[in-house]
């Protein structure tokens, strides 16, 4: 009888503890962290969403997009992102790199093809094409390109849109994000945000 009572008592304590910890850690902690996020960093907490001039959500500042037509050709009026190995390109549900080593013949061939295509698109020598223009990021979702790649595209974008090249150049310069804390990472340009600003500048 005492053993039965002890088992019931222990079970009761365990159930009550589970309920308390579920409420405190599963509900209370979640609400607390969510509330702090909404108060202190609402933009980041809600996905770092970016909007066009009409106020429509067009993406996230954390996830890149492809600016190509249905056949895979670059939309010449937009700055181009770096390649993506995530699904069919920038698929947030299939984040990944190519997982190919630097001497893999398939990767080497793909890089050479991309270099030649970009050189032709931008009207430059293949040696002027930056590395990030022909290689995917580790996640396949990186929304950034190097300032060098962004500036390489200025003449083409300006010509297609009928804009002054200096205005497009200044737009790129204004969107260069410097190293975090002054020393972490490299200067970079968010292509989604740059193209939104480009649309606002004029067509």
Summarised one tens digit per residue, pLDDT across range 116-131 is 999 999 999 999 999 9
Q: Would you say residue 153 has pLDDT above 70?
A: yes
User: Which is more confident, 149 or 101?
Assistant: 149
Q: Would you say residue 203 has pLDDT above 60?
A: no
- Do 152 and 128 form a contact (C-beta atoms < 8 A)? yes
Quick one: CA dihedral 95, 101, 105, 110, positive or negative? positive
Quick one: which H or E segment has residue 155?
Answer: helix 154-161
Summarised one tens digit per residue, pLDDT across range 157-167 is 999 999 999 99
For residues 27 and 149, what is the distance between their CA atoms, to the nearest angstrom? 46
Burial of 58 (0-12, 13-18, 19+ CB in 10 A): middle
Q: What percent of the chain has pLDDT over 90?
A: 57
Summarised one tens digit per residue, pLDDT across range 36-57 is 988 888 888 888 888 888 888 9
């Amino acid at each position: 009888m005492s053993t039965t009572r002890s088992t019931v008592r222990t079970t009761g304590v365990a159930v009550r503890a589970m309920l308390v910890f579920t409420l405190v850690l599963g509900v209370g902690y979640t609400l607390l962290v969510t509330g702090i996020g909404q108060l202190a960093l609402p933009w980041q907490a809600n996905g770092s969403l970016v909007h066009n001039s009409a106020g429509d959500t067009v993406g996230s500042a954390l996830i890149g997009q492809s600016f190509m037509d249905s056949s895979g050709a670059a939309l010449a009026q937009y700055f181009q992102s770096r390649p993506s190995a995530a699904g069919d390109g920038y698929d947030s549900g299939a984040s990944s790199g190519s997982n190919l080593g630097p001497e893999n013949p398939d990767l080497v061939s793909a890089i050479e093809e991309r270099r030649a295509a970009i050189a032709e698109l931008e009207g430059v020598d293949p040696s002027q094409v930056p590395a990030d223009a022909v290689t995917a990021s580790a996640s396949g979702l990186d929304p950034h390109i190097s300032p060098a790649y962004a500036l390489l595209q200025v003449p083409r974008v300006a010509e297609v849109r009928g804009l002054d090249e200096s205005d497009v150049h200044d737009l790129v310069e204004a969107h260069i994000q410097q190293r975090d804390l002054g020393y972490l990472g490299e200067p970079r340009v968010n292509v989604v945000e740059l193209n939104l600003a480009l649309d606002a500048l004029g067509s």
